[in-house]
């Protein structure tokens, strides 16, 4: 039988899958200060962004996060040079003018000797934070913010509506201000006071907010079902305890504040309570969703790639695999095999995520 080719419609990946993958890569970066592994994570996220980003305005945000990461590294190095002590290394690079501080600031210095060990340590610490920021930038470049808000669970519906309104009208304020300044120039008024410009902008924003509120109300937004007071209280308590458990679990996993099994148990209990609260709170919202984003095999593969990368790095850190943390600043960074393989798994979204358009055989 002869194969017939047809052009399939492009399908964007679910934004939640991109965020989960990016958070997994960020967790992987938080477990190591090895510059080789950090550069690999940065290369993996950059390659996935280049392979699967769209032409949307937010798709260029990854470059902005790269620049922000460079600023973070520069600030970290400058602060380390100004405030560090010689106890971090005997190799003195140069000496800065030192300011005398009062007695109550004993142990703190401004200026003085700057060691090579202190500078390299600052580069590694700042690089770790910069790579984590770039992972978040990858999620911003790949996931549509409006589609992400539309995919929020029903229990978070009110927060999603507020975010949609804010995302809609913040750029509109800038557009109104430009329109008013252009109108003033056409009338020959090149200079104007803040009061004469701000009042039309605020009036236009108020009118648009009223129109949007009326349109949303006519479509059933904000209508909730009647639920017992006891159920509302239980839902609120579950949300509070769930968020507290998630925060404690994530903090313990990132900082080793408690044992790994206990931290994992705390995180699991927090997630269970939060999911239960979302499931119960969803009963209050009586609305339908037009063309919801599907969650199919590509979404599971993308999430699994980020989860595997994070899990491999966490397990390697718990078992003390050599190479995640360097023995000293001025040493050649090793290349541990297991963490490298875990990071390379993060490349899977470049192939698993559906492209913008392709021909398939039927």
pLDDT (0 to 100) of residue 347: 93
- d(C-alpha 328, C-alpha 334), whole Å: 12
Stronger pLDDT, 237 or 39, i.e. the higher one: 39
Tell the residue number behind the tokens 């950090």, with chain if given. 38
Q: What is the pLDDT of residue 164?
A: 59
Q: Give the pLDDT band of residue 274 (cuts 50, 70, 90).
A: confident
Q: What is the pLDDT of residue 300?
A: 92
Q: Would you state the pLDDT for residue 157?
A: 62
At 126 the three-state DSSP class reads helix
Chain centroid to CA 198: how far? 34
What is the Cα–Cα distance from 147 to 150, expressed in whole angstroms? 5
Averaged pLDDT, 158-170: 61
Whether 278 shows a pLDDT value over 50: the answer reads yes
Q: Which residues contact 234 (CB under 8 A, 6 or more apart)?
A: 280
Q: Are 48 and 348 in contact (CB under 8 A)?
A: no
Please state at what angle helix 229-255 crosses helix 15-30, rounded to 10 degrees.
40
Looking at residue 334, its pLDDT comes to 85
| This prediction's pTM | 0.72
Q: What is the mean pLDDT of residues 136-164?
A: 72
Can you spell out the DSSP letters for 242-273?
Answer: HHHHHHHHHHHHHH--S-HHHHHHHHHHHHHH
**Token pair of 127 as six digits:** 């690089």
Q: For residue range 279-309, list pLDDT tens digits in order.
A: 776 666 656 666 777 788 888 999 999 999 9
Is 80 exceeded by the pLDDT of residue 75?
yes
């Amino acid at each position: 039988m002869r194969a017939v080719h047809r052009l399939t419609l492009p399908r964007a990946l679910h934004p939640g899958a991109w965020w989960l993958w990016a958070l997994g890569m960020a967790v992987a970066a938080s477990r190591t200060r090895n510059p080789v592994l950090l550069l690999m994570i940065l290369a993996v996220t950059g390659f996935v962004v280049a392979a699967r980003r769209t032409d949307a305005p937010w798709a260029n945000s990854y470059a902005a996060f790269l620049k922000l990461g460079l600023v973070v590294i520069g600030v970290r190095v400058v602060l380390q040079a100004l405030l560090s002590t010689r106890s971090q290394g005997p190799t003195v690079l140069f000496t800065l003018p030192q300011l005398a501080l009062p007695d109550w600031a004993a142990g703190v210095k401004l200026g003085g000797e700057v060691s090579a060990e202190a500078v390299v340590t600052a580069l590694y610490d700042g690089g770790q934070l910069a790579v984590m920021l770039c992972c978040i930038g990858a999620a911003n470049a790949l996931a549509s913010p409006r589609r992400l808000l539309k995919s929020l669970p029903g229990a978070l519906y009110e927060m999603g509506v507020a975010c949609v309104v804010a995302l809609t009208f913040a750029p509109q304020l800038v557009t109104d201000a430009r329109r008013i300044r252009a109108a003033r120039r056409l009338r020959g008024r090149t200079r104007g006071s803040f009061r004469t410009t701000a009042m039309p902008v605020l009036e236009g924003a108020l009118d648009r907010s009223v129109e949007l509120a009326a349109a949303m109300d006519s479509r059933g937004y904000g209508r909730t079902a009647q639920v017992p007071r006891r159920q509302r209280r239980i839902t609120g308590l579950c949300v509070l305890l769930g968020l507290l458990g998630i925060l404690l679990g994530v903090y313990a996993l990132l900082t080793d504040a408690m044992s790994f099994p206990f931290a994992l148990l705390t995180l699991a209990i927090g997630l269970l309570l939060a999911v239960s609260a979302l499931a119960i709170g969803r009963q209050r919202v009586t609305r339908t969703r037009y063309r919801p984003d599907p969650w199919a095999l590509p979404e599971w593969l993308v999430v699994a790639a980020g989860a595997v990368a994070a899990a491999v790095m966490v397990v390697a850190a718990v078992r003390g695999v050599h190479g995640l943390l360097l023995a000293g600043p001025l040493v050649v960074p090793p290349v541990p095999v297991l963490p490298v393989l875990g990071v390379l798994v993060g490349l899977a979204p470049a192939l698993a995520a559906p492209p913008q358009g392709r021909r398939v055989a039927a």
